């Protein structure tokens, strides 16, 4: 276990940034956001960022390929640059678990090389939670916010930052920093036992009852007030839907990938139209994927990490907790 004085945190950031680009959760235009560290940039006092650190591996917009057109000749250009090693500090346990879910999608064969390269070149430094919000429910999903994982686990206790390497990447990073030896004091976990959502039970959802959940009459009532704005999908750390678009620049074509949302009316649009023409169907798809489809394909692991972002950001206060509880009232 390593130790660093909290009053000298800027010096630690400077030491890391001198070797590799460093991203930290900080306040940008009043919003907690992961941003490239600059001298004097402070950690946000908020528990979590508005959007998760998945942006560093799966950007909201990225260029995939270019096509240069000259007459009848087409030249394919790869815009992908050599990915530099980087460090992201302050990832919470919920977001660290979300990387496992994203990995199961983007690293499955054939692996997404854009995502794979960023993951391989990023050292994740997590930060344990000591003051969770009432909207947090990661513990009900088997996540320990005091053991956040990552390549390096960090804890703030008193006037010190404690660091422990969990992987070879983490060990390599800490070995290059002038850290002291230290022993982290035992943390008080009682606060997590008082969270209002600590007993949320998602174990009832499974593939054996897939059609029962799918045909539940509750979907109509639950989806009635949904605006279809997609906010829940854009703040969710585990959502991975995207669209691919081509843009004619006049000198060629640039192909981009950008985040998409299953809550949008043109999602999965085909020549004949959309497979889910109603908001009920789109609403149902989102929550069936999180609660039923994904667990059915991944050993029972729910496609949610309990970060609470959708609880805090939905403009009509609809979220996965309300859906799970409403469906859970039924006997299926």
pLDDT at 331 (0 to 100): 44
Mean pLDDT for 151-159 is: 94
User: To the nearest whole percent, how much of the chain has pLDDT over 90?
Assistant: 76
Task: Name every residue whose Cβ is closer than 8 Å to that of residue 60 and which is 6 or more positions away in sequence.
Answer: 258, 259
Mean pLDDT for 238-264 is: 92
Measuring CA to CA, which residue among 243, 255, 259 is closest to residue 78?
A: 255
Chain segment 262-287, per-residue pLDDT in tens: 999 888 888 888 889 899 999 999 99
Helix (H) or strand (E) holding 68: strand 61-70
Residue pointed to by tokens 């843009």: 247
pLDDT at 234 (0 to 100): 95
Mean pLDDT for 106-119 is: 95
pLDDT at 79 (0 to 100): 79
CA distance 206 to 148: 27
pLDDT at 15 (0 to 100): 97
How many other CB atoms are found less than 10 A from the CB of residue 111? 13
pLDDT at 236 (0 to 100): 96
CA distance 310 to 303: 13
CA distance 274 to 264: 10
Least confident of 32-41, 236-245, 267-276: 267-276
Is this model's pTM higher than 0.85 or not?
yes
Joined tokens for residue 168: 């070879």
- β partners of residue 22: 87
Mean pLDDT for 19-36 is: 96
Indicate if the pLDDT at residue 187 is higher than 80: no
Mean pLDDT for 73-95 is: 90
Q: With cut-offs at 50, 70 and 90, classify the pLDDT of residue 332.
A: very low
The chain-wide mean pLDDT, for the chain, equals 92
Phi-psi region of 142 (alpha: psi -120 to 50; beta: other; left: phi over 0): left
CA distance 253 to 134: 48
pLDDT at 207 (0 to 100): 65
């Amino acid at each position: 276990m390593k130790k660093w004085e909290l009053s000298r945190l800027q010096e630690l950031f400077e030491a890391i940034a001198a070797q590799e680009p460093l991203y930290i959760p900080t306040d940008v235009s009043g919003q907690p956001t992961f941003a490239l560290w600059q001298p004097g940039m402070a950690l946000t006092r908020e528990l979590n960022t508005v959007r998760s650190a998945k942006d560093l591996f799966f950007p909201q917009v990225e260029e995939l390929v270019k096509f240069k057109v000259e007459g009848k000749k087409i030249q394919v250009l790869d815009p992908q640059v050599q990915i530099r090693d980087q460090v992201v500090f302050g990832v919470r346990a919920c977001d660290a678990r979300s990387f496992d879910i994203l990995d199961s999608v983007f690293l499955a064969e054939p692996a997404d090389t854009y995502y794979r390269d960023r993951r391989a070149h990023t050292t994740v430094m997590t930060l344990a939670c000591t003051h969770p919000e009432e909207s947090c429910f990661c513990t009900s999903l088997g996540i320990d916010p005091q053991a956040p994982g990552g390549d390096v686990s960090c804890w703030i206790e008193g006037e010190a930052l404690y660091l422990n390497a969990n992987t070879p990447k983490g060990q390599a990073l800490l070995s290059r920093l002038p850290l002291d030896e230290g022993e982290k004091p035992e943390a008080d976990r009682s606060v997590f036992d008082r969270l209002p959502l600590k007993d949320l039970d998602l174990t009832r959802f499974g593939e054996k009852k897939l059609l029962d959940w799918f045909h539940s009459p509750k979907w109509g009532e639950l989806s009635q007030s949904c605006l279809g704005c997609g906010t829940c999908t854009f703040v969710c750390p585990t959502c991975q839907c995207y669209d691919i678009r081509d843009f004619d620049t006049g000198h060629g074509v640039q192909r981009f990938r950008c985040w998409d949302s299953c809550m949008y009316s043109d999602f999965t649009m085909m020549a004949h139209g959309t497979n889910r023409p109603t908001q009920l169907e789109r609403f149902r798809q989102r929550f069936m994927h999180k609660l039923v489809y994904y667990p059915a394909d991944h050993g029972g692991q729910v496609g949610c990490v309990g970060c609470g972002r959708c609880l805090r950001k939905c403009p009509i206060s609809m979220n996965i907790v309300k859906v799970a509880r409403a469906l859970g009232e039924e006997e299926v």
